[in-house]
A = this chain, B = another copy of it.
Amino acid sequence: MLDVEVALAEALAEAGVIPPTSLAPIRNAARAERYDLVALDAEATLAGNPVIPLVRHLTSAVAAEDPTAAGHVHWGATSQDVMDTALVLELREAGAGIAATLGRAGDAAARLAERYAATPIAGRTWLQQATPTTFGAKAMVWMQGLDRARARLLSTLDAAGDLQFGGATGSLSTLGDAGPQVAAALAAKLGLRAPDAAWHTERSRVADVACALGIACGTLGKIGRDVALLAQTEIGEVAEPTAEGRGGSSSMPHKRNPVGSVRAVSAAVRAPGLVATMLAAMPQEHERAIGGWQAEWETLPELVALAADASAAMTDTLAHLSVDEARMRANLDAAGGVARAEGLMAALAPRVGRVEAARLVEAAVRHAATRGQALAEVAQADEAIRKHLDTAAIEQALDPIALTATARDIVRRSLRHREVDRREHDHG
């Protein structure tokens, strides 16, 4: 906020609204360490916002050096101009950091996708084993979510990069004809755009950033939940990285809790309510809100903190994830391999029609389940099936590598496209 006050004074001086001699005293006084934050907090509650007491203290500090300059502090601005512009500056910085972290998380997911593109793993729908896929394909879905979340965040941050500057009710009336010039100079100094008009009570810019942060948290939460599910003791296909003091349990030395993933899931539980608050705050009255604007003050920073923490947690988790390919294969073979039944059906259907194929496979599956045999064995011994498929064909139909070839190809194509996008973006 002090940076905004200084830039405002500079812009006013450039436009000739205040004399250049007022700049040095304002710059000298506008150093954050000179202000008592605890006192400001109490005064802000009474005043209605923190800018009122801040400007009062700033003005006093300037006055001690140069009484004339004191009259030029905050000239033409209203409290919300300063708070919102400071917010935009902070969002730009924090948002860029989150976007970079999402980028690193996406890279880590891409490396997993590449490395395990052809590693069979049980596909799971409704938490039940379904047709097999590859672990790389799972990681690719994570990667795509992260890349999209990053792109969306960057574009909303860009769209929100607008100076807030309108004076009491948006018209910059105090500055008269100099208004547009001061606004343009102020925006330029802060690296922001000067929009057509102030957006005091048109909150779509900040609501949009909130939504992008919420979507990022939801995306990270999906990955965190998947990792925690894969890390279950009974599944054990992945494990979070270990470190001194990380995820242990004093009473249970064998525990390796998915603490990184849980930070992401927790963020995904919290973000929706905070985004809802930002949206609920949108209908702001006339030229300054009674409640809506004020409700944003702590909510948006919390969303930023959540997204920052969750993206850091998942970047670390994905970059150092332990992957157990043998357990993936073992789980896939468990329950007699019935999760691969679709392969058998796909092989039979062109020969006997889908309805009859389903009937045959269903019988074999039931057979395998009842006798505790592997589906492959049952199928090889099933005369009705053998009428249409020979030994090799049945083997092929139930081979996880063959069954997941399409998954592998999808992963590789997706990684190629990502590579191209990256290269274009670097040159663009």
Contact = CB atoms under 8 A, between A and B. Distances in A.
Contact of A204 (B145, B269, B291): B145
Interface in A344-367: 345-346, 349, 353-358, 361-362, 365
Nearest to A246: B46
Interface string A253-286: 1111111011111101111111111011111111
B354 A75 contact: yes
A252 B52 contact: no
Interface centre among A123, A134, A208 (most CB of B within 10 A): A123
A395 B9 CA distance: 29
B277 A270 contact: yes
A299 interface: yes
Contact of A215 (B208, B294, B299): B208
Contact of A253 (B126, B174, B277, B365): B365
A283 to B, nearest CB: 4
Contacts of A263: 45, 294
Contacts of A353: 67-68, 70-71
A164 interface: no
Given A126-B255, A130-B255, A277-B273, A173 B288 contact: no
A140 interface: yes
Interface in A42-82: 43, 45-48, 52-53, 55-56, 59, 63, 67-68, 70-75, 78
A339 to B, nearest CB: 7
Interface in A288-341: 288, 290-292, 294-295, 298-299, 302, 331, 334-335, 338-339, 341
Contact of A283 (B55, B248, B265, B331): B265
A256 B128 contact: yes
Contact of A290 (B211, B261, B331): B261
Given A145-B204, A414-B196, A265 B245 contact: no
A127 interface: yes
Contact of A72 (B248, B279, B335, B354): B354
Contacts of A252: 130-131, 168, 339, 341-342
A222 B245 contact: no
Nearest to A357: B71
Nearest to A256: B128
B288 A125 contact: yes
Across the A-B interface, the 6 shortest Cβ-Cβ residue pairs? A123-B169, A218-B282, A265-B291, A125-B288, A273-B273, A171-B407
